Amino acid sequence: MSASTRRRLASVTPLELFLVALAGLGAGAINSLVGSGTLITFPTLVAFGVPPVTATMSNAIGLVAGGVSGTWGYRRELRGQWERLRWQIPASFCGALVGAWLLLHLPESVFETVVPILLVLALTLVVLQPKIQSWVARRTGGDADGRLGPIRMTLLVVGTFAVGIYGGYFTAAQGILLMGLFGALLHDHIQRQNAAKNLLSLVVNVVAACAYILVAFDRIDWTVAALIAVGSLIGGYLGSHYGRRLSPVALRIVIVVVGLIGLYRLLF
């Protein structure tokens, strides 16, 4: 741990520690439902004086616990998706490696212009999901039972890889991007899409967290990471428990509302 981190921790109050854990709980719940929980924890950490890159790495490590509980909560909805996921998981894994490398070598300003555009695109895809699904199925092939033609499968894997790069670099809203991608290419129930989103986001966070630990161990705020882990573990369970009961329309509304709030925070 660096000297600057030790000095900062010495001035942290119990209230701030509680608020970080609470932010972790909220992020875990939102990630299991939508994705973009980082838009809660990241600004909280920066507001308490955690350097941005340290906040990104510590946050990614802490949210792994919430990803585990959220994915476990949606385990039933994952059944029958292996035909897609056996290609998507490696794509997320490789994308996360590239994204983590970018975080450690590029300035944060690189993605500042791109992120809001991606969010708007993803939210549009979520809103128009039923119509887009029908149009894409007619154009590229695939049956209503969820099987994909080669064109859609290729697009799905490439898109998953691209979102993995983004997630490894800056985890905020990767879940919304995945849901937008799924909404455009998959003819499947939105709760099953959400289950796949949770699993792939977890893969990205685990890869990014391992990369940060190996390469930048001394730049991680382990107190922050532990608090977020405890909060997100509980939040991920709660989010998945109640989120699985939402209707497709209600879940779509939650995704759009949270996405718009995240877009506002990114812009202003």
| Segments in the chain below pLDDT 50 | 7, 10, 143-145
pLDDT at residue number 257: 76
Per-residue pLDDT, 1? 53
Task: Give kind and range of the element (H or E) at residue 84.
Answer: helix 82-105
CA angle 176, 177, 180 (to 5 degrees): 85
pLDDT at residue 24, as a whole number: 92
* Confidence (pLDDT) at 144: 47
Sequence-distant (≥ 6) Cβ neighbours of residue 138 within 8 angstroms: none
Q: Give me the pLDDT at residue 65, please.
A: 94
At residue 145, the pLDDT reads 47
Distance CA 94, CA 207 (A): 9
The residue among 140, 123, 243, 124 whose CA lies nearest residue 185 is 140
- pLDDT of amino acid 133: 58
Q: What is the pLDDT of residue 111?
A: 58
Query: pLDDT value at position 61?
Result: 92
Digit-coded pLDDT (tens) for 226-256? 999 999 999 999 988 888 777 777 777 777 7
CA dist 232 and 245 (Å) reads 20
The residues, ordered by sequence, that sit 6+ positions from 176 with a Cβ below 8 Å of its Cβ are 34, 35, 36, 119, 122, 123, 126, 255, 258, 259, 262
| Per-domain boundaries in the chain | 14-267
Asked whether the beta carbons of 35 and 201 are under 8 A apart, the reply is yes
